[in-house]
């Protein structure tokens, strides 16, 4: 996993502080450069100035929802457009949300999930 993540820039959009710290610390231990934010507005600020290798985003955030964020990031020609794959995490994954995000996200994880499942999904998406 270290070879896969070494030097990779990851944007992690998660408002559960303890979870964000745990995941960020683990990914950093594997050599990733993790930018962790709790709000959509902060994520968009970082997207404006940085090209990321991977984006991990939660659904329910302090100032918006992850599906709107994903749509903004994956709209070609849009000011926030990034080619980086997105892993979407949520406790509220239903058929409607899955249909909306189809083709825009590289993977989805239902919360709560283990660190092992997240690492497996990252490996699948980045390999």
Give 94's Cβ-side CA count (13 Å radius).
2
Please count the structural domains in the chain: 1
What's the pLDDT score for residue 24? 98
pLDDT at 89: 92
Query: pTM of the full predicted structure?
Result: 0.93
Under a CB-based contact definition with an 8 Å cutoff, are residues 84 and 78 in contact?
no
pLDDT along the chain (127 residues), means of 10: 97 95 98 97 91 94 87 84 93 79 90 95 96
β-partners of residue 127 are none
Domain housing 80: 2-126
Q: What is the pLDDT of residue 117?
A: 97
Give the pLDDT confidence score for residue 66 in this predicted structure.
83
**Strands of 16-63, DSSP E:** 33-37, 54-58, 60-61
CATH of the domain at 108: 3.40.50.2300
Smallest Cα–Cα separation from 11: which of 84, 114, 101? 84
pLDDT score for 20: 96
pLDDT at position 86: 96
């Amino acid at each position: 996993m270290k070879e896969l993540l070494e030097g990779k820039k990851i944007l992690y959009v998660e408002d559960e502080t303890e979870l964000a710290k745990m995941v960020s610390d683990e990914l950093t231990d594997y050599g990733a450069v993790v930018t962790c934010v709790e709000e959509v507005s902060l994520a968009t600020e970082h997207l404006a100035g940085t090209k990321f290798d991977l984006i991990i985003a939660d659904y329910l955030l302090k100032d918006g929802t992850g599906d709107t964020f994903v749509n903004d990031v994956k709209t070609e020609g849009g000011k926030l457009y990034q080619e980086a794959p997105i892993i979407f995490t949520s406790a509220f994954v239903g058929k409607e949300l899955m249909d909306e995000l189809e083709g825009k996200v590289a993977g989805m994880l239902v919360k709560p999930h283990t660190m092992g499942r997240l690492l497996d999904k990252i490996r699948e998406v980045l390999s």
